[in-house]
Amino acid sequence: MDDPNQSIFDQHAQRYPLADATRRLIEEVRASQAPESVLEEAQGAVEKALGLLAPYRQKGGFAQALLSDGAAAFENESDPMVFFANSPFIGRGNPLALPVDFSVRNGVVHGRGAFTGPYCGPPNYVHGGVIAAVFDELLGTVNVVNQQGAMTGTLTIRYRQPTPLFQEIRMEGHQAGVDGRKVFAEGTMWHGETLLAEAEGIFIMLPDEVRSRLFGSADGAG
């Protein structure tokens, strides 16, 4: 049986190369020492690209996922990199997304990435706020993978060591229990065998009527 959602996945996948090129553009702008004439020429090229894209701008709601059925839809598309195609942290179709890939094995979410210059905080290290954002996405994905999508209530980060730029960083997130509407998840971040940071999250599952009121107008194709 054909997947009824396949067409929307294919449609959004067409944006991935452009989104990737835009991420590389952001990195070049961040690090550029080009003369004014080159900067002006580059700006002109970007303005031209904006003009090409503007007539096709989406109208309607916005969502991270390409499906509007919430955590239940994850059964149909279990790759978080596809499901959350518009995520500001892992979305392949979102130029703002961090250089991080998630994969799922036995309900545990594994992540890998190398943070580049745009994510710098202290000299040569990743900004602590970026680390917190990645953990929020990691633990939130853990919940969705386990069919318990919920909203972040409390996120606690313990920074053990600075996270270096341009080095492969690995992450792992797993469930840590459920108590009523509270969902608990934990995660770690590593450089080689060095523990960089730990996270604990308490997430709140919303009643159906609250979820409908808050998100009912969101377009899953956003």
Cβ 182 vs Cβ 153: under 8 Å: yes
d(CA 142, CA 109): 6
Bridge partners for 170 per DSSP: 112, 190
44-82: pLDDT as tens digits: 999 999 999 999 988 767 777 766 555 555 555 568 887
Q: Which residues contact 150 (CB under 8 A, 6 or more apart)?
A: 140, 143, 181, 183, 203, 204, 205, 206
Indicate the average pLDDT of the chain. Answer: 87
| pLDDT at res. 67 | 60
CATH number assigned to the domain comprising residue 205: 3.10.129.10
Query: Does 217 score more than 60 pLDDT?
Result: no
First and final C-alpha spacing in the chain: 26
Give the total number of structural domains in the chain. 1
Summarised one tens digit per residue, pLDDT across range 22-51 is 999 999 999 999 999 999 999 999 999 999
pTM (predicted TM-score) = 0.84
Task: Give the max Cα distance, the chain.
Answer: 61
Residue whose pair of structure tokens reads 């994969």 in the numeric block: 103
**HEC assignment per residue over 116-181:** CHHHECCCCEECHHHHHHHHHHHHHHHHHHCCCCCEEEEEEEEECCCCECCCCEEEEEEEEEEECC
Give residue-wise pLDDT tens across range 163-213.
Answer: 999 999 999 999 999 999 999 999 999 999 999 999 999 999 988 788 777
Chain centroid to CA 13: how far? 16
Q: Which domain holds residue 116?
A: 1-222
191 Cβ contact list (under 8 Å, min separation 6): 161, 163, 164, 167, 168, 169, 170
Classify each residue of 187-222 as buried b or exposed e, where b means 16 or more C-beta atoms within 10 Å of its C-beta.
bbbbeeeeebbebbbbbebbeeeeeeeeeeeeebbe
More confidently predicted of 216 and 83: 83
- Give the per-residue pLDDT at 107: 87
Query: How confident is the model at residue 58, as a pLDDT?
Result: 80
Residues 6+ apart with CB under 8 A from 220: 63, 65, 66, 67, 68, 69
d(CA 185, CA 156): 11
pLDDT for 85: 83
